[in-house]
Chains A and B, each alone.
Chain A
Amino acid sequence: MTAEVGQFALILAFLLAITQAAAPLWGAQRGEPVLMALGRAAALLQAGFVVLAFVCLAASYVACDFSVALVAEHSNSQQPLAYRIAATWGSHEGSMLLWVLILAIYGAGVAWFGSSLRETLQARVLGVQGLIGVAFLGFLIFTSNPFLRLSPAPLEGTELNPLLQDPGLVSHPPLLYLGYVGFSTAFAFAVAALIEGRVDAAWARWVRPWVLAAWIPLTAGITLGSLWAYYELGWGGWWFWDPVENASLMPWLLGTALLHSALVLERRGALVSWTILLCILTFSLSLIGTFLVRSGILTSVHAFAVDPQRGIYILGIIAVTTGAALCLYAWRAPALRTGALFAPLSREGGVTLNNLFLTALAATVFLGTFSPVFIELLGKDKISVGPPYYARTFAPLAIPLLALVVFGPMLNWKRDRVTAVLKRVRIPAGLAAAALLVALVTVGWKGAIAAAGLALAAWLVAGGVAIPARRWWAGRADLARSLRTTPRGILGLSISHAGLGLLVLGITGVTAWHSDKVLTMHPGEQTAFAGRTITLDSVGLADGPNYQARQSRFAIAGRGGPYELIAERRAYATSQTTEAAIHVSPLGNLYISSGDEQDGGVVVRLWDHPLVVWIWIGGFVMAFGGLVSLSDRRLRLGAPARAPARIADPVPAPAE
């Protein structure tokens, strides 16, 4: 019964999405308030029914209703409850439902909070969101129905892939989807602006929080994914340049560019058509990334061979949404008013440079991810693109950008002077130079690159902290008061840029100084590794809820020891996983995983990962900075519209 309710709710949501697409677009064109109000109601109702459908699917999982095909394929009754719930989005169909759910919730958000928007703009945004909703609900219902029944129902289901039975799965995909789908709102705003043929400060003020609202979970989701891969995949990597990872990185890079250019648009009315283009491209990359990659055009095109209908449908959605938006762009964007002037050396100029680099980085990832497909089409050559490619292309572009990050917020709007800017960054520069010196003395010339990395990290952190510090210094107020009065947007910027520095610290440490060792150990045996003495105490068996584990217990002395670590190999009904034992500390992680048994011993692989934890701390700090920024009163959703944004700042203060 539950599944039928869900099915019915989905169909109703589909019909409501059609209403949401048609009524407000038509209403805005004709100036019919009733039709526009209908659009708002449809958006809210649609969200309600999608939530209902999602709850129905989750309930089927919780109740172990194996007559629902999806439930039978992705869970069994032995699976812990949390993972049965998480399994709701652990399959293709379920994750599509989650996608549609988030889309509907964002749509309802625009309908609910958007009362301060110009009515026609709100109506058009809702209409475009409705169109996207129709496309994806249609995809869900017609090609990937999550509520199909099995008859006869099996007594027991197939277990969810054990790799996915992890706290990471519970939060990783929803966070990523919040990000991807969040950019659909920016996309809808961009298309609405193109239809209206007008972009004003109110538009920009509305888009930025939505972009931020997508960027925060995407940042957190990518960070979490990296962390999950690190501890779950069992060989201690934190980024693999895998197509699926790249799929999340591309919209992140362009979304970050958008975050910055939308700021210029809001404050200065400049970079208008570029920002619109970024809105369109960011969402398109979210679509291209998630769907094409997951559908397997790259790695295992088999998925398409199994069900080519899905692949063609998705490609069709992408072609129509993005293609139509870009055509609209080519037609309407040239007529958009161009914004205020600025000198090359100015805050606006800085953001332009930032956007240039971020776009080039996104292009690099795109080329690396998709060129094997194109090269194979052109000739007969089949190539692979792996980490060595990105080390030679992505890194050389990313490093100058990182070095430039500190200058951005120190620049004045409109125009600035070189000497004045250099004077403003003297303290971060001094700290970075000091860090470089100390590092060089410690590690010597051979570690010059690593030392430069540490200096870059110090430069970024100091540059981030310098922004509120300068305000405090200039205001001569006490620190607490100064922090309280600093706009949250500025604090958020400061935190995020400092977080970037922590990320660089972690990457530098683990890239430059990681080491590993692989050996066969017998119980009682000792080995020296990276300043530690590691003893394999015992090997024994233990039972988990739905698996059996072989546990290897290690005693570690030295470098933060003594402590004990347990590495596991788990045998689930259908497959095995390796649960690495990890000792985490700010200076570095010890990572042990145990493999096959060999000659009466266990094959053990040891890794030393210096500073690696700062990678994830940095990522989460960046996301936190975004949250702080989002809490800025000026950006708060539903805050009453202010007078048009100031065109020029009277005081060249370091604003966000």
Chain B
Amino acid sequence: MRRLLFLLPVAVFLAVIAGFMAGLRHDPSVLPSMLIGKPLPTFALAPMRPGEQGLASAELTGEPVMVNVFASWCAVCKEEHPMLMALRSQGVKIVGLDWREDAGAGARWLEANGDPYVRAGNDASGRAGIDMGVSGAPETFIVDRQGRVRYRQVGEITPEVWSQTLAPLMARLRAES
């Protein structure tokens, strides 16, 4: 009994180290989203350019879609951009949410770099993004046919992220009726 007491420190220590080991493998970029399985919050965003169409949450049903949060002030968005362009050319439906900046800045950025979005809207106040639990850009939400959020990608969509996670998910969602 007394011997067991002296073993207690080792036991606790091993548990802690095992936790740290697992913690090392753990991917920190997976921020839990409160929206998984729930419908997108309602929003109706202003157009990027005057006279164009904006982006409303109600329109994002019927087929699976990726909602990409971007901004011209976001350096990583620029790195992510070619990937989005490539996806567009593959026919993936991506819509853009221009977060926390004037519509003009986002529009100019798209003109300069190319527009990967079938539709985009400007969220100058940032409120639509906040309703979705966005904490930075880029973030990407995968929305199914019923308009429910199924996945949130925090950070850049790299080719690995696309091929390993997002592409299979999109294919599955397309297969759903």
The answer to whether A and B interact is yes
**Chain A interface residues toward B at CB < 8 A:** 273, 277, 280-281, 284, 288, 292, 297, 300-302, 304-305, 308, 311-312, 315, 318-319, 322-323, 326-327, 329-330, 333-334, 370, 373-374, 376-377, 380-382
Instruction: Assess the A315–B6 pair: CB atoms within 8 A.
Output: no
17 additional contacts (CB under 8 A) given A277-B9, A311-B24, A326-B9: A297-B20, A297-B24, A300-B28, A301-B23, A301-B24, A301-B28, A302-B28, A315-B21, A322-B13, A326-B10, A329-B9, A334-B2, A334-B6, A370-B19, A373-B20, A373-B23, A376-B23
List the 3 shortest-distance A-B pairs measured between CB atoms, nearest first.
Answer: A301-B28, A326-B10, A373-B23
A residues less than 8 Å from B112 (CB atoms): none
The 0/1 profile, CB within 8 Å of A marked 1, for residues 1-23 of chain B is 01100110110011011011111
What is the CA–CA distance of A273 and B9 in the complex, to the nearest angstrom?
12
Give the residue name and chain of the B residue nearest to A308 (CB): B24
Instruction: Assess the B9–A330 pair: CB atoms within 8 A.
Output: yes
B residues less than 8 Å from A301 (CB atoms): 23-24, 26, 28
B residues less than 8 Å from A281 (CB atoms): 9
Q: Is there a chain A Cβ closer than 8 Å to B31's Cβ?
A: yes
Number of interchain pairs (Cβ within 8 Å): 66
A residues less than 8 Å from B9 (CB atoms): 277, 280-281, 326, 329-330
Within 8 Å by CB of A377, from B10, B13, B26, B32, lies B26
Give the residue name and chain of the A residue nearest to B10 (CB): A326
The 12 sampled A-B contact pairs (Cβ below 8 Å) are: A297-B23, A297-B24, A301-B23, A327-B10, A329-B10, A330-B9, A334-B2, A334-B6, A374-B19, A376-B26, A381-B32, A382-B31
Shortest Cβ distance from residue B12 to the other chain A in the assembled complex, whole angstroms: 9
Give the residue name and chain of the A residue nearest to B13 (CB): A326
Within 8 Å by CB of A380, from B10, B13, B20, B32, lies B32
Shortest Cβ distance from residue A302 to the other chain B in the assembled complex, whole angstroms: 7
Within 8 Å by CB of B24, from A312, A323, A333, A370, lies A312
Q: Is chain A's interface secondary structure helix, strand, loop, or mixed overall? A: helix
**Chain B interface residues toward A at CB < 8 A:** 2-3, 6-7, 9-10, 13-14, 16-17, 19-24, 26, 28, 31-32
Shortest Cβ distance from residue A334 to the other chain B in the assembled complex, whole angstroms: 5
Shortest Cβ distance from residue B4 to the other chain A in the assembled complex, whole angstroms: 9
B residues less than 8 Å from A329 (CB atoms): 6, 9-10
A residues less than 8 Å from B2 (CB atoms): 334
What is the CA–CA distance of A333 and B3 in the complex, to the nearest angstrom?
9
A residues less than 8 Å from B21 (CB atoms): 315
Interface centre among B2, B14, B17, B20 (most CB of A within 10 A): B20
Shortest Cβ distance from residue B47 to the other chain A in the assembled complex, whole angstroms: 31
What is the CA–CA distance of A277 and B6 in the complex, to the nearest angstrom?
10
B residues less than 8 Å from A380 (CB atoms): 32
Instruction: Assess the A334–B3 pair: CB atoms within 8 A.
Output: yes
B residues less than 8 Å from A377 (CB atoms): 19, 22-23, 26
Within 8 Å by CB of B6, from A284, A323, A330, A381, lies A330
Instruction: Assess the B20–A333 pair: CB atoms within 8 A.
Output: no
